[in-house]
A and B are shown apart, each in its own frame.
Chain A
Amino acid sequence: MSYQHAQDNWFAAIIIGFIALAVLVNILRAQLGAQLYIRRIPGLDAIDEAIGRSTELGRPVTMIPGLTDFGVVAVQALTIFKYITKQIARFATPMRLLSGNPTVFAVAQEAIADAYNEAGRPDLYDPDNVRFLSDRQFAFASGVAGLIQRERVAANFMFGEFFAESLIFAETGNMVGAIQIAGTISFTQVPFFVAACDYTIIGDEFYATSAYLSREPVLLGSLVGQDIAKLLFALTTLGGVIAASIAGTDAPIIKLLGQPGGWEAFWKSVLQGGGQ
Chain B
Amino acid sequence: MDWLQAFLPLNLERLSVWIGVLCTLAIYSLLYRENPIYRFFEHMYIGLAAGYSLGPLGVDILYRYWIEPIWIQGYWAWAFVVPYGMYLYFIFSERYGWISRIVIGTLIGASAGLFFQEFSSRYLPQLNSTLQKPLWVSDANPDLTYGMIINNILFVIILLSVLTYFTFSYEQRGPVKRVAIWGRWFLMIGLGAIFGNTVMARMALMIGRIYYLLNDWLLIRVGGG
Interface residues of A (CB under 8 A from B): 1-4, 6, 8-9, 11-12, 15-16, 36-39, 41, 70-72, 75, 103, 106-107, 109-110, 113, 127, 133-136, 139-140, 142-143, 145-146, 149-150, 187-188, 190-192, 194-195, 202-205, 208, 211, 220, 223-224, 226-227, 230, 233-234, 236-238, 240-249, 251, 254-255, 257-260, 262
Q: Check A139 against B194 for contact (C-beta < 8 Å).
A: no
**A241: B residues at CB distance < 8 A:** 130-131, 133-135, 152, 156
Between-chain CB contacts (< 8 Å), 21 pairs: A37-B170, A39-B168, A39-B172, A106-B88, A110-B104, A133-B46, A135-B53, A146-B38, A149-B34, A191-B191, A205-B166, A211-B168, A234-B163, A240-B130, A241-B131, A244-B131, A246-B138, A254-B131, A258-B125, A258-B131, A259-B128
Q: How far is the CB of A239 from chain B (nearest CB, A)?
A: 8
Q: State A141–B104 Cα separation when bound (angstroms).
A: 26
Task: Given A3-B120, A70-B111, check contact A237 B125 (CB 8 Å).
Answer: no
Q: Check A248 against B141 for contact (C-beta < 8 Å).
A: yes
Q: Check A191 against B49 for contact (C-beta < 8 Å).
A: no
Q: Is B220's CB within 8 Å of the partner chain A?
A: no
Q: Check B46 against A142 for contact (C-beta < 8 Å).
A: yes
Q: Is B57's CB within 8 Å of the partner chain A?
A: yes
Q: State A165–B50 Cα separation when bound (angstroms).
A: 18
Residue of A nearest to B201 (CB): A164
Q: Check A230 against B135 for contact (C-beta < 8 Å).
A: no
Q: Check B128 against A254 for contact (C-beta < 8 Å).
A: yes
User: Which of A146, A195, A251 has its CB near the most chain B CB atoms (within 10 A)?
Assistant: A146
Interface residues of B (CB under 8 A from A): 27, 30, 33-34, 38-39, 41-42, 45-46, 48-50, 52-53, 57, 88, 91-92, 97, 100-101, 104, 107-108, 111-112, 114-117, 119-121, 124-125, 127-128, 130-136, 138, 140-141, 152, 156, 159-160, 163-164, 166-172, 187, 190-192, 194-195, 198
Q: Check B49 against A139 for contact (C-beta < 8 Å).
A: yes
**A208: B residues at CB distance < 8 A:** 168
Residue of B nearest to A146 (CB): B42
Residue of A nearest to B167 (CB): A227
Q: State A262–B129 Cα separation when bound (angstroms).
A: 13
Residue of A38, A139, A249 near B132 (CB, 8 A) is A249
Q: State A12–B117 Cα separation when bound (angstroms).
A: 9
Q: Check B168 against A75 for contact (C-beta < 8 Å).
A: no
Residue of A72, A127, A136, A226 near B111 (CB, 8 A) is A72
Q: Check B168 against A139 for contact (C-beta < 8 Å).
A: no
Q: State A258–B92 Cα separation when bound (angstroms).
A: 46
Q: How far is the CB of A258 from chain B (nearest CB, A)?
A: 3
Q: State A206–B107 Cα separation when bound (angstroms).
A: 21
Q: State A3–B88 Cα separation when bound (angstroms).
A: 32
Q: Check A71 against B111 for contact (C-beta < 8 Å).
A: yes
Residue of A nearest to B143 (CB): A249
**B116: A residues at CB distance < 8 A:** 6, 16
Residue of A71, A135, A237 near B130 (CB, 8 A) is A237
Q: State A72–B109 Cα separation when bound (angstroms).
A: 10
Residue of B nearest to A74 (CB): B111
Q: How far is the CB of A263 from chain B (nearest CB, A)?
A: 12
Q: Check B57 against A135 for contact (C-beta < 8 Å).
A: yes
Q: Check A113 against B97 for contact (C-beta < 8 Å).
A: yes
Q: How far is the CB of A129 from chain B (nearest CB, A)?
A: 13
Q: How far is the CB of B49 from chain A (nearest CB, A)?
A: 4
Q: Check B97 against A12 for contact (C-beta < 8 Å).
A: no
Residue of A38, A106, A188, A243 near B168 (CB, 8 A) is A38
Q: Check B34 against A142 for contact (C-beta < 8 Å).
A: no
**B52: A residues at CB distance < 8 A:** 136
**A134: B residues at CB distance < 8 A:** 45-46, 49-50, 53
Residue of B nearest to A149 (CB): B34
Residue of B53, B141, B195 near A136 (CB, 8 A) is B53
Q: How far is the CB of B165 from chain A (nearest CB, A)?
A: 9
Q: How far is the CB of B81 from chain A (nearest CB, A)?
A: 15
Residue of B nearest to A139 (CB): B49
The 5 closest A-B pairs by CB, nearest first: A240-B131, A248-B140, A258-B128, A139-B49, A149-B34
Q: How far is the CB of A134 from chain B (nearest CB, A)?
A: 4
Q: Check A188 against B194 for contact (C-beta < 8 Å).
A: yes
Q: Check A245 against B170 for contact (C-beta < 8 Å).
A: no
Residue of A nearest to B53 (CB): A135
**B135: A residues at CB distance < 8 A:** 241-242, 245
